[in-house]
């Protein structure tokens, strides 16, 4: 049946749909701007950025040269929570006061702040953050030298290892599987952030 009765309403309906679509686009753009523009960020004459750390509220001054480009695994973790950043070049600055990892889109001038601690671990528990299995308490007494994987005795798969970069705790088995090498070998990487070293035995 032909929809001839729609004739007088075609133009109003088309205009309404167009306005609604424009409204959605403007709202999304506002949300993205809201997420990527911390209050109080200032661009200084030397192209450095001045703003307060969102975690400890201490003042920061960041030079463009201090922004370190993110690795592939780090970028994947950021894009996982901010899909609109796919294809963007991202960089990191670590707060010297509280060690919060601030993420920036560095393909613009000035760089655009995205957020902080996208790949920081959650509260440490007695379970591996990767496979969620319970971690075993090492049998030997706590000692900085003995707790290094190079000197640890009887390094079992369900012992935990502490990442020196992001603070995540993963079991020996998960670290070995992700790194595709023995955890005692230089270059073993954290399954959570993809960085190394991860060479300290964790005590639940």
Between residues 180 and 55, the one the model is more confident about: 180
Please tell me the predicted confidence (pLDDT) of residue 18.
Answer: 67
Confidence at 174, pLDDT banded by 50, 70, 90:
very high
User: What distance in Å separates the CA atoms of residue 9 and residue 13, rounded to the nearest whole number?
Assistant: 6
Residue position matching structure tokens 């030298």: 145
Of the pLDDT bands very low, low, confident and very high (cuts 50, 70, 90), residue 158 is very high
The burial class, CB within 10 Å (0-12 / 13-18 / 19+), for 45 is exposed
Residues of the chain with CATH 3.30.40: 121-204
Q: Is the peptide bond before 190 cis (omega within 30 degrees of 0)?
A: no
Instruction: Estimate to the nearest angstrom the gap between the alpha carbon of 108 and the chain centroid.
Output: 20
* pLDDT above 70 (res 5): no
Give, in order, the Cα–Cα distances in Å from 197 to each of 97, 156, 179, 186. 22, 18, 11, 8
What percent of the chain shows pLDDT beyond 90?
11
Question: Omega into 197 within 30° of 0, i.e. cis?
Answer: yes
Could you read off the pLDDT of 52-65 as tens digits, one per residue? 887 778 888 988 88
What pLDDT, on the 0 to 100 scale, is given for residue 31?
Answer: 45
Q: What is the model's pLDDT at position 52?
A: 85
The answer for 35, left when phi > 0, alpha when psi is -120 to 50, beta otherwise, is alpha
Say yes or no to pLDDT of 35 above 70: no
| Closest residue by Cα to residue 73 from 179, 181, 183, 186 | 179
Q: What Rg do the C-alpha atoms of the chain give, in angstroms?
A: 24
Q: What's the mean pLDDT when you consider all of the chain?
A: 79
Q: Which fold has domain 121-204?
A: Herpes Virus-1 (3.30.40)
Of the candidates 165, 32, 30, 37, the residue with the CA atom closest to the CA atom of residue 104: 37
- Which conformational region is residue 194 in: left (phi greater than 0), alpha (psi within -120 to 50 degrees), or beta? left
């Amino acid at each position: 049946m032909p929809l001839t009765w729609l004739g007088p309403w075609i133009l109003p309906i088309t205009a309404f749909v167009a306005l609604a679509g424009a409204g959605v686009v403007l709202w999304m753009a506002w949300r993205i701007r809201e997420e990527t523009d911390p209050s109080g960020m200032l661009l200084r004459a030397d192209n450095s950025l001045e703003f307060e750390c969102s975690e400890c509220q201490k003042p920061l001054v960041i030079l463009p040269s201090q922004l370190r480009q993110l690795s592939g695994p780090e970028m994947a973790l950021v894009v996982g929570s901010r899909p609109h950043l796919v294809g963007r070049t991202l960089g990191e600055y670590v707060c010297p006061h509280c060690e919060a990892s601030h993420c920036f889109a560095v393909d613009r001038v000035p760089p655009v702040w995205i957020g902080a601690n996208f790949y920081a671990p959650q509260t440490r528990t007695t379970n591996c953050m990767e496979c969620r299995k319970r971690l075993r308490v090492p049998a030997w007494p706590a000692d900085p030298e003995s707790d290094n994987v190079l000197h640890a005795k009887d390094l079992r798969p369900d012992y935990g290892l502490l990442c020196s970069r992001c603070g995540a705790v993963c079991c020996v088995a998960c670290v070995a599987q992700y790194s595709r090498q023995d955890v005692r070998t230089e270059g073993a990487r954290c399954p959570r952030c993809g960085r190394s070293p991860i060479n300290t035995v964790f005590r639940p």
